[in-house]
């Protein structure tokens, strides 16, 4: 990760390349589960039908599996010995079982598994795959646990870690707020009520005021039922009483994480242009200024490019709106391939206009990057109306001055774009070089 990426706060999360291990003695069910899991997760699935095969697989490829799905009762492992193997070798495990009673539940949960799913209906396969997907997704969710008692805090943190969440701990309300301020990727807080510096109600109000997108679950061993109401009125989204029923805690946290995911998806949809899938003008003007400020504060230059499809009106008139949409989608697809990068912000900002912020690029570098984009688009013909159509773009580029507004710099890039059109189109012009 380079210095600019670090300054901009990208975490560089990579997809887990390890596979999924399924231990199931029913060949038909194992095949269906493998196909379903591979389709839903994109990860390779290895199946085996016995404890003997399982032990050989794990010994042959230690560390090869991100998660295991274990049938509790196998012909050569009738008492959950396969589960003991996966847990002992540090493989996060989901149990799938047709035999279930309180004793079985206790035997499963004491082994610190992610969850168990019952073979009790036609929905069992879907439930199992959903549980595996959630566990894999949980690895990208950071949860802050706040409790001034170390032992209690560690117990809760361990419960969450078993569910594959990334856990951060705080021993006071003040420490929790400091961690939230410094770590914008913290999405969920689980907080005790009793703390020496501020109680859970005060912490909830502070989080609601300073970090309104963060969800909060209050916890308490108090027998006063007004405690839960106090948490909710102070801004918490949920409440759990101690001592925990483990499955209840899991479900409540999972429900809040799912809500966060849905909100993120809605925000993503609101930020995207419906036709091209690129970010829209609103998102560009919301995210552009903080990106510029962060990069410049760290000592990096930032430039902006404004791109326009040449002769788009004539293309639209000739081929109709459907043809015009295909032109826009084609250019957007090329831009996405060529210009989307963790230090760049790309958006459709007008009918046939696109803007790119290049964080870390001075004027000369941005012009070179823009020239590469222009040349690549010109080399990619579009099949339209049964014929190959050559598309070209004109681009204006400006380096953004310190304390210069995004509007002002975009205006200078627009004037440079006008110059590029006046000089014959299909070219890049830099601000300061206008005729």
pLDDT at 111: 85
Distance CA 304, CA 398 (A): 5
This prediction's pTM: 0.73
- Please indicate whether the domains covering 3-137 and 281-430 agree at the CATH topology level: no
- Domain 281-430: give its CATH superfamily: Reverse transcriptase/Diguanylate cyclase domain (3.30.70.270)
pLDDT at 173: 95
pLDDT at 294: 92
pLDDT at 208: 94
Distance CA 348, CA 272 (A): 9
Q: At the topology level of CATH, where does 141-270 sit?
A: Rossmann fold (3.40.50)
Instruction: State which residues of the chain have pLDDT below 50.
Output: 11-13, 433-435
pLDDT at 384: 86
Which class is domain 3-137? Answer: alpha beta
Q: From the CA atom positions of the chain, what is the Rg in Å? A: 27
Q: What b-and-e string marks burial along 281-299, b requiring 16 or more CB atoms within 10 Å of the CB?
A: eebbeeebeebbebbbeee
Sketch the domain layout of the chain as residue ranges: 3-137, 141-270, 281-430
List pLDDT tens digits, range 261-296: 899 889 888 999 999 999 999 999 999 999 999 999
List own/partner pairs for 225-234 with CB under 8 A and 24 or more apart.
227/193, 230/201, 231/193, 231/200, 231/201, 231/204, 234/200, 234/201, 234/202, 234/204, 234/205, 234/208
């Amino acid at each position: 990760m380079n210095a600019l990426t670090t300054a901009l706060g990208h975490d560089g999360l990579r997809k887990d390349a390890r596979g999924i291990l399924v231990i199931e003695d029913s060949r038909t069910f194992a095949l269906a589960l493998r196909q379903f899991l591979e389709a839903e997760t994109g990860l390779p699935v290895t199946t085996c039908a016995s404890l003997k095969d399982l032990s050989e697989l794990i010994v042959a490829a230690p560390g090869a599996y991100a998660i295991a799905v274990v049938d509790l009762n196998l012909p050569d492992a009738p008492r959950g010995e396969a589960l003991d193997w996966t847990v002992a070798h540090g493989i996060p495990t989901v149990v799938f079982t047709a035999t279930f009673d309180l004793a079985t539940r206790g035997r499963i949960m004491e082994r610190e598994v992610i969850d168990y799913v019952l073979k009790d209906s036609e929905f069992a396969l879907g439930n199992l795959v959903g549980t595996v997907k959630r566990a894999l997704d949980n690895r990208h969710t950071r949860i802050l646990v706040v409790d001034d008692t170390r032992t209690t805090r560690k117990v809760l943190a361990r419960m969450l870690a078993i569910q594959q969440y990334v856990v951060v701990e705080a021993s006071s309300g003040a420490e929790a707020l400091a961690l939230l301020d410094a770590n914008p990727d913290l999405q969920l807080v689980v907080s005790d009520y009793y703390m020496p510096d501020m109680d859970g109600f005060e912490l909830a109000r502070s989080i609601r005021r300073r970090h309104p997108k963060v969800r909060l679950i209050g916890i308490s061993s108090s027998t006063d039922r007004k405690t839960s109401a106090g948490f909710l009125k102070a801004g918490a989204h949920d409440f759990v009483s101690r001592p925990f029923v483990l499955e209840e805690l899991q479900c409540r946290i999972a429900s809040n994480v799912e809500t966060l995911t849905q909100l993120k998806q809605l925000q993503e949809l609101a930020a995207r242009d419906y036709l091209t899938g690129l970010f829209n003008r609103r998102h560009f003007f919301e995210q552009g200024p903080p990106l510029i400020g962060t990069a410049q504060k760290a000592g990096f230059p930032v430039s902006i490019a404004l791109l326009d499809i040449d002769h788009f009106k004539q293309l639209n008139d000739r081929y109709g709106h459907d043809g015009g949409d295909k032109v826009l989608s084609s250019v957007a697809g090329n831009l996405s391939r060529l210009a989307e990068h963790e230090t760049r912000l790309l958006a459709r900002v007008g009918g046939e206009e696109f803007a790119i912020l290049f964080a870390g690029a001075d004027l000369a570098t941005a012009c070179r990057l823009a020239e590469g984009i222009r040349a690549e688009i010109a080399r990619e013909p579009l099949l339209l109306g049964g014929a190959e159509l050559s598309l070209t773009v004109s681009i204006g580029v400006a380096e953004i001055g310190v304390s210069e507004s995004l509007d002002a710099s975009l205006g200078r890039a627009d004037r440079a774009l006008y110059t590029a059109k006046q000089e014959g189109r299909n070219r890049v012009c830099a601000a300061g070089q206008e005729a």
